[in-house]
Amino acid sequence: MGDFLSGPGMIVAIIALTTGGWLINNWIRAKHGYDLEDEWGGKTSRADRSAELDGLRDENAKLVERLNAHEDRLKVLERIVTDRGYSLSDEIEALRHDDSSGVPLNTGKKERV
């Protein structure tokens, strides 16, 4: 083994390691969408994806618009529940104790005689 790394084997080992590193580097770059490097340090850009990106931007804008609409609706519902919920409960209680309406409220409770 010592003879292999002392002569031309060392050169082969260095070339193998640098080629392996270059391949791993390009694999990681391709996986994450970066431009690829050629063996002279130049860059090779990926295929034109502008149409795909424009479609994604349009879809994103529509989703943001829908989200904003739902947020507005949620605010209205929260206001109804919090503001009207307590006053509605108070109004119902006031009607239960008000004898002037002439219409008994059937709340499911049995009257005691």
Partners of residue 27 on adjacent β-strands: none
Give the 3-state DSSP-derived string for the chain, with helices as H, strands as E and coil as C.
CHHHHHCHHHHHHHHHHHHHHHHHHHHHHHHCCCCEECCCCCEECCCCCHHHHHHHHHHHHHHHHHHHHHHHHHHHHHHHHHHHHHHHHHHHHHHHHCCCCCCCCCCCCCCCC
Residue 55: per-residue pLDDT: 87
The tens place of each residue's pLDDT in the chain, 113 residues long, gives 556 667 788 888 899 999 999 889 888 887 877 777 666 666 666 666 677 788 889 999 999 999 999 998 888 888 777 765 566 677 777 777 766 555 555 555 555 54
Model confidence, pTM: 0.34
Residue matched to tokens 């904003």: 68
